[in-house]
Amino acid sequence: MVKGDYQRIIRHCIKGEEKFMEHKKTEPENSETILRVEDVWKIFGKDTDVRNLLSSDIRNASKEEINKTRCVLGLRNISFNVRRGEFFVIMGLSGSGKSTLIRCLIRLINPSAGKIIVNNEDICAFDKEQLMNFRRYTTAMVFQHFGLLPHYTVLDNVAYGLKVRGMSKEDRYERAREAIETVGLKEWEDYLPSSLSGGMQQRVGMARALAQEPEILLLDEPFSGLDPLIRRQMQDELVDLQVSLQKTMIFVTHDLDEALKFGDRIAIMKDGEIIQLGTPEEIIATPENDYVRDFVQDASPAKVLTSGQIMKEPDLLIHEWQGPQATRHMFRSAKDEFAFFIKRNREFVGIITRNDVRELARKKQGALHDILITDVPVCGPDTIVEELFPLATSSPYPITVIDENKKFMGIIYNHTIIDSMYQDTEVE
Amino acid sequence: MFEFPKQWDIPLADWIDRLMDWVLTEFADFFDAIGIILLKVLLSLENFFLWLPWFLVLILVGILAWRAMGRWWYGFIIPGLFFIIGCFGYWDMAMMTLAIVAAAVIISLIIGIPTGIVMARSNLAENLIRPVLDAMQTMPSFVYLIPALMLFGLGKVPAVFATIIYAVPPVIRLTNVGIRGVPESVIEAAEAFGSNPRQILFNVQLPLAFPSIMVGVNQTTMMALAMVVVASMIGARTLGLEVLLAINRIEIGRGFEAGLSIVLLAIIIDRITHGFAVKQQKSYKI
Ligand SMILES: Nc1ncnc2c1ncn2[C@@H]1O[C@H](COP(=O)(O)OP(=O)(O)OP(=O)(O)O)[C@@H](O)[C@H]1O
Ligand SMILES: [Mg+2]
């Protein structure tokens, strides 16, 4: 099991790396630093309280200790560099301060202490005007909850950053249209965001950021609100984008798979601190402490994949109005030993085996209901693969995936589970 | 022994009288200027409304009703109500009522929307203004007639003034609520792309607060209409005056006609402004 994990994870890394290799080769090993974060702190609370706290010894106490004062610890002692063209991933569990950190980088949240140096300028020292221009021309951000303007069409949303710059309508629409085409939403230009699906809305968010042609692209869990299939697809597209654009990207996620897929380097955060920073291999091979080790172990596909993701289409679906002869006929052209019996509204009833049907058809009397096996294992689409093991071993029949209304969704054979452990998730 | 001691009497009425005297003498020019502006706005509106041919008014109302409510038959029903007012012989009176309402609403919006914006942008301003609005809305409407009367005498101008004071709170409140209700995530995104406060106000906050502001406009308009009727007590020639006269002379029929006309006018104005508010809300889906 453990071996399988590692193989898969390493394969992940290699896969990600391969794609980057091409452009990485064209760049010098230590290309210039575009972003340097030096000893950044963020304490939430009243100004005076925060100042007192930072100048006292409590600053080094644990997060719990600090939160006993009137302040809340957001970030502590954060330092790292990002090279031009690098894909830098910030990873951590919920509440570890990832969003706080990425927001500090463009001062949506003002750091309480420290320096953030972009292109040799400390943005913490910027006045309002400089900060506006920095946000307008140097960075662009993609948000977990999209942050689209609900009253603007897709086109206007994508053009918004350019409008803020004061660009003329024609120019900004032209560039926005290009960006929209890049994310594949050409036909949707004139729709409002509310008429788009989540995945499409996030494409709009991406297009809006891309239209800025920023030096640094900031992404705060851009895919975590999307369902798994769309998510994987958009991840792949982002990898492609990164290869073609070679933008500096800072990517926040709580998902190790995502981090390994993208990251040139990964920073793992806990309680507002970076506890390990390194390449994906370094992090997997030599986890700094138990926290990181747990994280890495969590990447076991059995703990990550769900039944909905690995389920297959059945060979044979039998509807309740079909008779034994028709069923037997259908079995002839199918490979499977089982057929799945559903009602008119797709509600799953049970399984029929090839042998039983043959018997029934030969006897020429009785209905399919007589040979229906209803005592079969079932699960919902969100069941984690690990929880399928007992189901799979306790019954000779395949597991049927049904939704909350008992509607048939797909099936899982024992070999499906085993395949999912070894197959790379990218293979559809 | 059991009576409330006389010496604890606070001569508040005295003080207020003296304050009013002082205000009237010190700020006479100021109130004169306001009076002139109000009169200008009002007279031009009144002339305009009275000049409009009746059938044109009906057609305009029909179009507005149809656009606001999105059903073609409202384009006939609502002007039909207006037509009935005309049949009662109150066409001109209704037009004059509308002129005062329109003047009061326009000025209320000019004052109210910016105030609401200020309130939304600063918690201090909100904490200061909110109790004032609360007080204004709990006060019985005819109380406002007293200062209006003292500042501007009898006639239409004090009527408009009192109406503005009575009708302005909802639009302030709902502008504030609307702007504060804009999702933080949307504002944050706009900020992340380098919007300055003015761009955020005009590109994000006001458009998204618009449905709420429209509800405020609806309420302000309805309150203005109610107040205009009351303001007939200080000599504004509106439909309310007819009711007042009918009461004095105990002419039940006349009072009923005038009262019904007021109700019809209220329905017309409410349906149209309400229709626009709802339409906005639907189109943004927030
Ligand atoms: N405005 C605030 N005031 C007080 N505490 C805050 C504020 N914003 C964030 N925090 C605290 O800072 C910590 C980090 O929050 P943050 O949103 O950065 O977490 P995160 O890693 O992005 O988590 P998630 O995966 O849920 O988005 C949390 O404990 C949170 O309670
Ligand atoms: Mg977050």
pLDDT tens track for A376-390: 899 988 887 878 888
Please choose, from the candidates A170, A237, A236, the residue with its C-alpha nearest in 3D space to the C-alpha of residue A210: A237
How confident is residue A360, by pLDDT bands cut at 50, 70 and 90?
Answer: confident
User: Can you give the pLDDT at residue A302?
Assistant: 66
Q: DSSP character for A398?
A: P
Average pLDDT, chain A: 83
User: Can you give the pLDDT at residue A220?
Assistant: 94
Q: Which residue has the tokens 């002419």?
A: B251
What is the mean predicted confidence (pLDDT) over A424-428? 41
Q: What CATH architecture applies to the domain A307-422?
A: Roll (3.10)
Distance (Å, whole) CA A77 – CA A112 = 11
Domain range annotation of chain B:
12-284
Domain range annotation of chain A:
3-303, 307-422
Task: Using the atom order of ligand 1, give the atom closest to the CA of residue A98.
Answer: 21
At A254-302, the pLDDT tens digits run 888 788 878 889 999 998 999 999 988 788 777 877 777 877 765 566 6
Percent share of chain A, pLDDT over 90:
37
Closest partner residue to B286 (CB to CB) among A137, A150, A212 is A150
Q: Measured between CA atoms, how close is A107 to chain B, in angstroms?
A: 9
CA geometry: angle at A408 spanning A404 and A410, to 5°? 110
Q: DSSP character for B154?
A: S
For residue A366, report the phi and psi dihedrals to the nearest 5 degrees. 95, 165
B127/A29: higher pLDDT: B127
User: Can you give the pLDDT at residue A82?
Assistant: 94
Task: Using the atom order of ligand 1, give the atom closest to the CA of residue A252.
Answer: 22
Contacts of A160 in chain B (CB under 8 A): 190, 193, 203
Asked if A164 and B191 come within 8 Å (Cβ–Cβ), the reply is no
Asked if B203 and A149 come within 8 Å (Cβ–Cβ), the reply is yes
Burial of residue A265, with CB atoms counted within 10 A of its CB: 0-12 exposed, 13-18 middle, 19 or more buried = buried
Q: DSSP character for A353?
A: E
Starting from the CA of residue A268, give the closest ligand: 1
Size of interface A-B (CB pairs under 8 A): 70
User: Can you give the pLDDT at residue A324?
Assistant: 82
Closest partner residue to B188 (CB to CB) among A139, A147, A164 is A147
At A193-247, the pLDDT tens digits run 999 988 899 999 999 999 999 999 999 999 987 877 788 888 888 888 888 888 8
Distance (Å, whole) CA A312 – CA A398 = 11
Helix, strand, or coil (residue A379)? strand
For B199, name the nearest residue in chain A, comparing CA atoms only. A164
Residue identifier of the C-alpha nearest atom 26 of ligand 1: A94
How confident is residue A111, by pLDDT bands cut at 50, 70 and 90?
Answer: very high
For B198, name the nearest residue in chain A, comparing CA atoms only. A164
A94/A303: higher pLDDT: A94
Model confidence, pTM: 0.73
User: Can you give the pLDDT at residue A424?
Assistant: 45
Asked if A136 and B193 come within 8 Å (Cβ–Cβ), the reply is yes
Q: Measured between CA atoms, how close is A76 to chain B, in angstroms?
A: 23
Instruction: Give CATH superfamily name and number for B12-284.
Output: MetI-like (1.10.3720.10)
User: Can you give the pLDDT at residue B283?
Assistant: 63
At A55-104, the pLDDT tens digits run 777 777 777 777 777 888 889 999 999 999 999 999 988 889 999 999 99
What does CATH list as the number for A3-303? Answer: 3.40.50.300
Ligand 1 center from residue A144 Cα (angstroms): 14
Residue identifier of the C-alpha nearest atom 30 of ligand 1: A95
Closest partner residue to A149 (CB to CB) among B186, B194, B196 is B186
For residue A66, report the phi and psi dihedrals to the nearest 5 degrees. -65, -40
Strand partners, A218: A141, A250
Q: Is 60 exceeded by the pLDDT of residue A12?
A: no
User: Can you give the pLDDT at residue A20?
Assistant: 45
Distance (Å, whole) CA A106 – CA A85 = 18
Residues of chain A in Cβ contact (below 8 Å) with chain B: 106, 108, 128, 132-137, 139-141, 143, 145-151, 160-161, 163-165, 192, 194, 208, 212
Closest partner residue to B185 (CB to CB) among A139, A147, A151 is A147
Does A307-422 match A3-303 at the fold level? no
Asked if A212 and B193 come within 8 Å (Cβ–Cβ), the reply is yes
When scoring A145, A149, A153 by the number of chain B Cβ atoms within 10 A, the one with the most, hence best to mutate, is A149
Around ligand 1, the residues with Cβ closer than 6 Å are A 44, 72, 74, 92, 94-100, 254
Q: Which of A72, A110, A250 to mutate to test the pocket of ligand 1 (most atoms within 8 A of CB)?
A: A72
Per-residue pLDDT of chain B (286 residues; tens, 9 = 90+): 788 888 888 888 888 888 888 888 888 888 888 888 888 888 899 899 889 899 999 999 999 999 888 888 888 999 999 999 989 888 888 898 999 999 999 999 999 999 999 999 999 999 999 999 999 888 888 888 888 888 888 888 888 989 999 999 999 999 999 999 999 999 999 999 999 999 999 999 999 999 899 999 999 999 999 888 888 888 888 888 888 888 888 888 888 888 899 999 999 999 998 888 887 776 665 4
